[in-house]
Amino acid sequence: MQDPRTGSERFAKGLLRMMNLPLLSFLMLHAAAAPPARAQADSALPKFGEFSVAEEFKGKPAPVDLSSDPQAGRYRTRLREGAKSGPNFAGHYTIVIWGCGSSCQQFAIVDASTGGVYFSKEVPYVSFGDRTEEPFGLQFKRNSNLLAVYGHIREDDPKGIFFYTWDGKRLMFITSIPGE
């Protein structure tokens, strides 16, 4: 007759017999029955659909207005190239991203209807350092004004996932969870 327990169950049982630790048995049973804390935390996080926009821009994007932000001229080529593709965020905005070193993203938000450029003071860049699994950096959708930032907001800040909503002029912090 074959043992109906899984390999990990047989291993745990053998380990308990060898070590004779009833407390370990108790802990293993309760750990297996408890729902994962990460899953509970994830269910409470903001979702893109909760921040949907009413209208999406249709048509040709306006030329980038380099006079709308003091930093815009410095990144004029990247902004113009990125804005050509049209909106990818919050209905009528384009998030244009470029590298700022190894494992680092800097970005600006361009209004497709006016060409206005916005550099975020709240999130000047995102560094994702040793993060190799997806997602990392900025996560966003065309039909939502939610921006999720995976990594470090500034070099000395702790790593985490930070959630912001775009109000048309700046990013408003919603919540965050600490990184692993």
Q: Print the SS3 string covering 28-81.
A: HHHHHHCCCHHHHHHHCCCCHHHHECCCCCCCCCCCCCHHHCCCHHHHHHHHHH
Cis peptide before 87 (omega within 30 of 0): no
Question: Residue 89: what pLDDT?
Answer: 97
Question: Residue 41: what pLDDT?
Answer: 53
Question: Residue 131: what pLDDT?
Answer: 57
Give per-residue pLDDT as tens, 107-134.
999 999 999 999 999 999 898 766 566 6
List CB contacts of 123: < 8 A, sequence separation 6 or more. Answer: 107, 147, 149, 153, 162, 164, 171
Question: Collapsing DSSP states into helix, strand and coil, what is residue 162?
Answer: strand
Going by C-alpha positions, the residue among 89, 88, 107, 87 that lies closest to residue 97 is: 107
Give me the residues of the chain with pLDDT under 50, please: 1-3, 6-8, 10-12, 14-40
Question: Residue 156: what pLDDT?
Answer: 76
Question: Residue 11: what pLDDT?
Answer: 43
Rounded distance, CA 25 to CA 50, Å? 42
Question: Residue 164: what pLDDT?
Answer: 97
Give per-residue pLDDT as tens, 85-102.
999 999 999 999 999 887
Q: Which amino acid is at 165?
A: T
Supply the pTM of this predicted model.
0.74
